[in-house]
Amino acid sequence: RDGGLVHLWAVDGTYEKGFKGWGTFGFRGETAWGHAGPGRKFDPADPTGSLKGQQSWGYYLETYFKFWPSFLDKTPFGEPFKKPQLVFAARYDWVDTDIDVFDQRDLGLVTLGISYRPLPRVAFKFDYQVDASPSERDGSGLGESGHGDRTDAFLFGLAVGF
């Protein structure tokens, strides 16, 4: 037994291609696999104190287009900044929390969005995220995320890098 150890392996990649006068088109993605070994618990019904290990995996694929329209150069969004950008992106995420079982805990998301980047390490984001999980497809719903209601969402965010 591996006594509750957690192992994680991941592979990711990015490809970008710039088009003079138009912007930059790119793809990125990542896949990860994890294993949590069985641990120990106190349960009078299970005097051995054993727990089942669990394996999970997931991935995301994203395509994006970075650009800046010249008509925004003389506006407050463009003028005070050196090289602002707008970024359109589309992303698909899938997480299978237990690969031994195809169930309602598997999570699939489709996200479409736009970001405004006035500085290279600052982004204001607006996304629309669609729940593409098995529970949405089969109508059974997840009790933890809306009691069977659609869990699509508008997301707003600010990201700052150091």
> What pLDDT digit, counting tens, does each position of 65-93 carry?
999 999 999 999 998 899 999 999 999 99
* Residue 42: exposure state from Cβ atoms within 10 A (0-12, 13-18, ≥19): exposed
Distance CA 80, CA 82 (A): 7
pLDDT at 17: 96
**Residues in Cβ contact with 55 at an 8 Å cutoff, skipping those fewer than 6 apart:** 33, 34, 35, 36, 98, 99, 100
| Tokens, residue 159 | 């990201």
Q: What number is the average pLDDT over the span 16-42?
A: 85
Contact of 15 with 47, CB cutoff 8 Å: no
pLDDT at 44 over 80: no
pLDDT category of residue 146 using cuts at 50, 70 and 90: very low
The mean predicted confidence, pLDDT, of the chain is 82
pLDDT at 4: 64
pLDDT category of residue 35 using cuts at 50, 70 and 90: confident
pLDDT category of residue 53 using cuts at 50, 70 and 90: low
* Residue 145: exposure state from Cβ atoms within 10 A (0-12, 13-18, ≥19): middle
Contact of 86 with 98, CB cutoff 8 Å: no
What pTM was estimated for this model as a whole? 0.75
